[in-house]
Amino acid sequence: MIVCVCKSVSDRTIRASIAEGMDSFDELQFELGVATCCGKCEESVRDVMAQSGACESRCGVHAVARTATVVSPQAVPLTFYERKAA
């Protein structure tokens, strides 16, 4: 999938670059040109970095697993009016 439309850089290219040792956004930006034109791809590039573990090695930020959270009916706080009625 193309991540940076302006520079025609795919997620595969970004992952390959990370595998070759580029582990910072600045390096990817310099070598591949991502986020150097309109800049709209920066978040997507950082997502690919996080998924590839590049960010953990350089800055210590761990990728956050995105999972659906199921909220039980008891955990939903009551509104002011519901508390008054109870």
Q: b/e map of 32-65 (b: 16 or more CB within 10 Å)? A: bebbeeeeebbebbbbbbeebebbeeeeeeeeee
Binding mask 11-50 for ligand FES (x = CB under 6 A): -----------------------xxxxxxxx---------
Does residue 59 interact with ligand FES by CB under 6 A?
no
Count of residues that bind ligand FES according to CB under 6 A: 12
Query: Contact residues for ligand FES (CB under 6 A)?
Result: 4-7, 34-41
